[in-house]
Amino acid sequence: MNDEHVRAVDPAVAEALSGEVDRQEGTLAMIASENHASEAVLEAQGSVLTNKYAEGYPGSRYYAGCEYADEVETLAIERARDLWGAEHVNVQPHSGTQANMAVYLAMLEPGDRILSLELNHGGHLSHGHPANFAGQLFEVEQYQVDAETGYIDYEALAEKADAFDPDIVVSGYSAYPRAVDWERIQAVADDVGAYHLADIAHITGLVAAGVHPSPVGIADFVTGSTHKTIRAGRGGIVMTSDEHAKAIDNAVFPGAQGGPLMHNIAGKAVGFKEALQPEFTEYAEQVVSNARTLADTFANHGLDVVSGGTDTHLVLVDLRESHPDLSGGTAEEALERTGIVLNANTVPGETRSPFDPSGIRAGTAALTTRGFENPEIREVGEHIVRVLDSPEDEGVIGEVGDRVTELCAAHPLYR
């Protein structure tokens, strides 16, 4: 990729950047929250809009010279409305966490109560972990997945809601492979007079393409990320009804953030335009089909796939039965040596530590972007199983690594 100006000014950073291009080109990105944005999105993100202050919203800014910023943000908003069908969209959150912060700031007072899924069961830090602002400002109670089935325990969730009387119920997860029943969670929230925030950060693209049920129009608030299953560059988004539009806009700016990252909003606009093309639906369908193939491949080789499969882009494997002596962290390290990059993950009923948990999580969004279809995914799944079986066998690591290099070369990204 073109880096002549960086190279002239700062060879050290240029080296790191070209190293990162080579790393993405030459390894299999199976971290479920990652993807590869197009060069069009990268160009927009790398544009002169990084220079522009545009505090406020289109047509009502605190600074002069915002006509092009207005154009870009308006396009991003219109396209987002087309993609998700929300009455109101705010495209300014710097990240998914900032989007969640805006919802909490808009609707809650410090000390109010959040009911959310436990982190070990697939929740997210921004849903109320003690190390995150959400856990520090609010009182948090957590629900779980059924440790047997791996599905959300909706009945236990309803009981928790009755007992805890939350002000907001948070759904939407980081490591949950199954479709979420938004109506059922909305009903729980309604019963206890709580708001419902559906955080679709992982499945933003799947929902846009209609391959996962949408919470838009059901949940009071829907937040998302723009860089996971949709390839619109790093950022967040909040969607809501006209009723809460003003509160959300005020909570994003000036509540939670200063000036919007207009270059990122340009990336969002371009990525949303790409996602409005019919090919994006095919892409999202292939992502899910690939994840199902990966889950089947694992299950056929005796791995314990949490919930028995997947409806999304991700597969969660509990290693405890098949590989009792192998931690997720050791598995991650061995796989990384072959160029298969995924992450260790906690599993329902976790018995190791969050820092070296019992599972691995693998996603198919990035591999599908580079053109992997079911046969290649099956092969990758088989390589993963081989490495899990022999994480210290240099012969296996070398063979799988060579094959990963070939697969990458056959499916170039930015070359």
Ligand X SMILES: *Cc1c(COP(=O)(O)O)cnc(C)c1O
Q: Which residues of this protein are in contact with ligand X, per CB under 6 A?
A: 33, 95-97, 124, 126, 172-174, 199, 201-202, 225, 236
Q: Based on CB atoms, which residue is closest to ligand X, 180 or 188? A: 180
> 142: which residues sit within 8 A by CB, 6+ positions away?
115, 116, 117, 118, 123, 128, 160
| Residue nearer to ligand X on the CB measure, 264 or 338 | 264
CB of 11 to ligand X, least distance (A): 30
Residue nearest to ligand X (CB): 96
Nearer to ligand X, 47 or 116 (CB): 116
Q: Which is nearer to ligand X, 173 or 372 (CB)?
A: 173
Instruction: Give yes or no for a contact between 275 and 228, defined as CB atoms under 8 angstroms apart.
Output: no
Q: Quote the least distance from Cβ 342 to ligand X, whole Å.
A: 15
Shortest CB 64 distance to ligand X, Å: 31
Instruction: Compute φ and ψ for 341, nearest 5 degrees.
Output: -105, 105
Closest separation in Å from C-beta 83 to ligand X: 18
Yes or no: say if 161 and 188 are a contact pair by the CB < 8 Å rule.
yes
Using the minimum distance from each CB to ligand X, give the nearer residue, 24 or 204.
204
Least distance to ligand X, CB of residue 136, Å:
16
Name the residue nearer to ligand X (CB basis): 224 or 328: 224
Q: Which two tokens stand for residue 297?
A: 């491949």
**80/76 Cα distance (integer angstroms):** 6
Let me know: does 327 contact 352? Beta carbons within 8 Å.
Answer: yes
- Report which secondary-structure segment, H or E, holds 289: helix 278-300
Using the minimum distance from each CB to ligand X, give the nearer residue, 103 or 284: 103
* Alpha carbon distance 351, 359 (integer Å): 10
Cβ 155 to ligand X shortest distance, Å: 22
The helix (H) or strand (E) run that includes residue 28 is: strand 28-29
Establish whether the linkage from the previous residue to 254 is cis, with ω within 30° of 0: yes
Name the minimum Å distance from CB 95 to ligand X. Answer: 3
Residue 29: its H or E element: strand 28-29
CB nearer to ligand X: give 236 or 339. Answer: 236
State how beta strands 60-61 and 359-363 pair.
unpaired
3-state secondary structure (DSSP) of residue 60: strand
Provide, rounded to whole angstroms, the least separation between the CB of residue 200 and ligand X: 8
What count of other Cβ atoms lies within 10 Å of the Cβ of residue 204? Answer: 29
Residues whose CB falls within 8 Å of the CB of residue 100, separated by 6 or more in sequence, listed in order: 124, 126, 127, 134, 170, 197, 199, 223
Q: Which residue has the tokens 């969607």?
A: 239
- Based on CB atoms, which residue is closest to ligand X, 166 or 363? 363
DSSP labels, 166-215: -SEEEE--SS--S---HHHHHHHHHHTT-EEEEE-GGGHHHHHTTSS---
CB of 280 to ligand X, least distance (A): 20
Return the HEC string of 95-150: CHHHHHHHHHHHHCCCCCEEEEECHHHCCCHHHCCCCCHHHHHCEEEEECECCCCC
SS3 of 237, please? strand
CB of residue 126 to ligand X, shortest distance in Å: 5
Instruction: State which residue, 174 or 264, has the beta carbon closest to ligand X.
Output: 174
Minimum CB distance to ligand X smaller for 96 or for 339: 96
* Residue 138 C-beta: closest distance to ligand X, Å: 16
